[in-house]
Amino acid sequence: MPLIGPHQQRWLRVFGATLAVLLSAAVVLSLRLPSFREPVLNFYAMKPGEIFNVYGLTRRQEGSVKLGFAEAYPGPEIGLYGNHIAAFFGAEAFGHPEDAEYFFNYSYANLSLPEIRRYLLHVAQLNHLPKKLILIQITPPNADNGGFIIDHGNELPPDIFLSTIESDERSNRLLPLVTLSWELVRNWLHEILNYNTVIMSLFQSGGYEERTLSPANCHDTSPAWLSRVPGRLQTILGTYGGVRCVPRLWTGALRRDGSQLVPRGEDRIPLVQNEDPLRESDRALRAGDEHTIAREMLAIDAIGIRHGIQVVFIVPPVYETDRHESVVNRIFDRALALVRDVTVIDHRSMRSDPSLFEGGIHASPRYYRILAEELRSRGFLD
């Protein structure tokens, strides 16, 4: 007896064929996208004041720009590893404006501790770790309700998983191959089955040369009429029309030291207090996670110890009212109590001064100057 009738069979054949064609097209289109990891953008060769425009790049491409650089070139004196929270941490905080050889900000996307550990292991294998100091930015618990501290969003390319598997503690787990395979499949799907990848593969334009520019000189090339059209149209025309001197296109642009250009005017990120409402249903940390956080921190610290480099963990503040008693904060507190031998600069209490923020969860350059001063006073910069 057939499971389904002839009508259902016909319908399913057409449905399956259509879906297969569409999915195949998505895979083929994603292969068209340049990686931006190879060839490499040499940040060291950028001139002071120049930016690398990332507008219209996928998250993976954007991360690959820095990853490729970290793989190809030796690290600076101080390197920062983290995620978008630390995007505005630049070398000027140390009094070395845009000095990429002194400080480089390797942070991108939503990297969490396990991904940062893999990233560092990968870079360490290439002998490209920073020379003096490794700064690890941890997502403040109240920024994303405990998210992106130990859970991760498939931000690293799959080969990083594979290249670090030998030294990865996951290989000691039960069913390591199943776990790894599942992570690789998720990682691949995350990149391929993504509207951004498909759209960008159709419309993306501009390589390193077109994307590297100096905002100070841009007014010479930007057509006057462009500034008169609505902002959103400017970005579309700019992106797909090859006109790149539009300030709105510079959102997220990378400077020579890897930090992001701080948005100005109407492009500024709105300053929202308590941006994450910390809903119980969205909580990303639960009891027992303190041990995972501590284990990841110790593993990262051990990488520094093996290579003779000081590691300092940083927990930036979030613009919020007094929410220290949140469940995720308490779990994180317990994690810190488990790693007393690790150096942590915990600035969660600096939550109320608006000048320390660009948006509700991103610390501002002013905050990083304060942080750099503390690093100096505690002797980490000597």
Partner 1 sequence: MRLRLWILVVASFMFYGVSGPEVLLAFVIAILWGYVTALLFARWPRAWPRALAIAVAVSVPALFLILFKYLTFIMDTVRAGPETRGHFWFFFNIVLPAGISFYTFEIVSYSLDVADKKIKPEHDLLRFTSFASFFPHLIAGPIMRYADLKQQLQALQSTPVLKPNIVFGLKLLSIGLIFKIFVADFSGTRITKASDLPLEQLSGVDQLTEIAFWSAQIYFDFWAYSVMAIGLGRLFCVELPVNFREPYLSRDPREFWQRWHVTLSYWLRDYVYIRMGGREAYVRNILIVFALVGLWHGAGWNFVAWGIYHAILVILYHVTAPAWDRLPRPVAVALTFTLVSFGWPLFFLSLEKYAAFLGHLVTTASWHTSVYPLHDWLYLAVIGVVTFGLRERNWLYNEVPNRNVIIDSPVIVALLMFIGLLTVSLSRTFIYFRF
Residues that bind partner 1 (CB under 8 A): 1, 3-5, 7-8, 11-12, 14-16, 18-19, 22-23, 26, 190, 193-195, 198, 270, 272, 279-283, 286-287, 325, 327, 330-331
For residue 137, the surrounding DSSP H or E stretch is strand 133-137
For residue 70, the surrounding DSSP H or E stretch is helix 59-72
Neighbours of 86 (CB within 10 A): 28
Minimum gap (Å) between residue 22 Cβ and partner 1:
4
Indicate the Cα dihedral angle 211, 215, 217, 220, nearest 10°: 80
- Rounded to whole angstroms, the Cα distance separating 335 from 338 reads 5
DSSP 110: T
Q: Which CB, 210 or 282, lies closer to partner 1?
A: 282
Q: Which CB, 146 or 316, lies closer to partner 1?
A: 146
Minimum gap (Å) between residue 251 Cβ and partner 1:
17
Q: Which CB, 286 or 376, lies closer to partner 1?
A: 286
Q: Which CB, 220 or 280, lies closer to partner 1?
A: 280
Widest pairwise Cα distance in the chain: 80
**Cα angle for residues 12, 13, 15 (degrees, 5° grid):** 60
Helix, strand and coil percent figures for the chain, each rounded to 5: 50, 10, 45
Minimum gap (Å) between residue 11 Cβ and partner 1:
5
Structure tokens of 236? Answer: 């579309």
Minimum gap (Å) between residue 17 Cβ and partner 1:
8
Q: Which CB, 4 or 174, lies closer to partner 1?
A: 4
Residue 144 has, within 13 A of its CA and on its CB side, a CA count of 18
Minimum gap (Å) between residue 233 Cβ and partner 1:
13
Q: Which CB, 192 or 381, lies closer to partner 1?
A: 192
Q: Which CB, 15 or 203, lies closer to partner 1?
A: 15
Neighbours of 156 (CB within 10 A): 24
The pairing of strands 51-52 and 103-105 is unpaired
- Rounded to whole angstroms, the Cα distance separating 91 from 280 reads 38
Minimum gap (Å) between residue 152 Cβ and partner 1:
14
Q: Are 74 and 272 in contact (CB under 8 A)?
A: no
Q: Which CB, 18 or 214, lies closer to partner 1?
A: 18
Q: Which CB, 72 or 271, lies closer to partner 1?
A: 271
Q: What is the CA radius of gyration of the chain?
A: 22
Q: Which CB, 80 or 200, lies closer to partner 1?
A: 200
Contacts of 90 (CB under 8 A, 6+ apart): 97, 98, 103, 105, 255, 257, 259, 365, 368
DSSP string, 294-339: HHHHHHHHHHHHHHT-EEEEEE---S-SS-TTSHHHHHHHHHHHT-
